[in-house]
């Protein structure tokens, strides 16, 4: 599976792109206020603010958020869940609806075990290549399908596939009630072919408030998870869910 774009740098490029668009809009507004106002209204069907991209939480507490994306390997997903429960470690999942629909019992158990589930789109396209309508469809279809399976609301946090986003993605997500998009500051590299030792080393590079990116699918990930958990705990860190991390960010 091609996942070359799944790096921390992807989101940074997206952010720059969004900034350029915003600056262009300001420049347009200065020249032709009436036209710019009209097009802005047309492009924004609701008054909602664009979703805000977050890469990590507050840096003042020794907490880390473990996050697990995708879900294409069910046996690896099961192993990860078993380990998290055995270790009593909090984590957050961002599966695609296509995988949730294929393993409803497993994903219901994830939710019932207290692990928040966020939106990673229906079937994992690069959202920056899609129209606003298609972006909205990916977010809505994921929400509908996943909530039908888990029987409870998802968290309103969008993790865009490959970490890739732009102004359109932020605007559409905001219009659908997503105030936050979440990338990461610590990529484990498990989706980039890293060895078990490499994943362990990469995943343990986090600091206060870090968001660690791992996946439910790569064969090496489940086997190093207990070591990753132990490594952070040895440094005095606690694990928090994404909602807990974001709440700390707002208050701090």
Q: List residues near Zn ion by CB under 5 A.
A: 69-70, 161
Whichever of 94 and 237 has its CB closer to Zn ion, that residue is 94
- Residues in CB range of 155: below 8 A, 6 or more apart: 92, 116, 117, 118, 242, 243
Nearest distance from C-beta of residue 207 to Zn ion, angstroms: 24
Q: Which residue is nearest to Zn ion (CB)?
A: 69
CA dist 164 and 97 (Å) reads 18
Q: Rounded CA gap, 115 and 92, in Å?
A: 6
Nearer to Zn ion, 111 or 214 (CB): 214
Q: 19-37 in b/e burial notation, b at 16+ Cβ within 10 A? A: eeeeeeeeeeeeeeeeebe
> In angstroms, what is the minimal distance from the CB of 161 to Zn ion?
5
Instruction: Quote the least distance from Cβ 183 to Zn ion, whole Å.
Output: 11
Contact 161, 121 (CB under 8 A): yes
CA distances from 112 to 117, 211, 240 (A): 11, 23, 17
Identity of the residue, 18 or 127, whose beta carbon is nearer to Zn ion in the bound complex: 127
Nearest approach in angstroms of CB 3 to Zn ion is 7
**Closest by Cα among 36, 38, 37, 25 to 170:** 25
Measured from the CB atom, the residue of 118 and 174 that comes closer to Zn ion is 118
Residue with smaller CB distance to Zn ion, 126 or 244: 126
Residue 244, CA atoms < 13 Å, CB-side half-sphere? 20
Shortest approach of Zn ion to residue 124 CB, angstroms? 6
CB of residue 190 vs Zn ion: minimum separation in angstroms? 11
Rounded Cα distance between 64 and 228, Å, is 11
Nearer to Zn ion, 70 or 183 (CB): 70
Residues whose CB is less than 8 angstroms from the CB of residue 115 and which lie 6 or more positions away in sequence, other chains included:
81, 84, 90, 91, 92, 93, 241
Task: State the nearest-atom distance from the C-beta of 152 to Zn ion, in Å.
Answer: 22
Counting Cα atoms < 13 Å in the Cβ hemisphere of 18 gives: 20
User: What's the start-to-end Cα distance of the chain, in Å?
Assistant: 39
Residue number, 57 or 161, with CB nearest to Zn ion: 161
């Amino acid at each position: 599976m091609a996942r070359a774009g799944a790096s921390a740098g992807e989101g940074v490029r997206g952010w720059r792109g969004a900034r350029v668009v915003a600056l262009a809009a300001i420049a347009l507004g200065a020249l032709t206020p009436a036209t710019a106002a009209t097009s802005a209204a047309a492009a924004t069907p609701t008054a909602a603010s664009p979703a805000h991209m977050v890469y990590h939480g507050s840096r003042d507490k020794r907490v880390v958020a473990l996050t697990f994306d995708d879900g294409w390997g069910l046996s690896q997903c099961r192993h990860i869940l078993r380990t998290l429960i055995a270790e009593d470690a909090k984590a957050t999942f961002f599966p695609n609806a296509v995988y949730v629909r294929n393993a409803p019992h497993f994903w219901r158990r994830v939710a019932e075990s207290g692990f928040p589930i966020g939106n990673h789109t229906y079937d994992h396209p690069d959202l920056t290549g899609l129209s606003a309508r298609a972006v909205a469809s990916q977010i809505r279809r994921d929400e509908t399908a996943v909530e039908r399976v888990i029987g409870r609301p998802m968290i309103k946090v969008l993790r865009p596939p490959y970490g890739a986003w732009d102004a359109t993605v932020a605007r559409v997500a905001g219009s659908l009630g997503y105030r936050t998009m979440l990338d990461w500051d610590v990529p484990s590299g498990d989706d980039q072919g890293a060895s078990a030792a490499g994943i362990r080393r990469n995943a343990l590079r986090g600091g206060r408030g870090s968001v660690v990116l791992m996946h439910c699918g790569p064969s090496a990930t489940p086997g190093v998870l207990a070591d990753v958990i132990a490594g952070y705990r040895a440094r005095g860190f606690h694990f928090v869910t994404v909602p807990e991390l974001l709440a700390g960010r707002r208050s701090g």
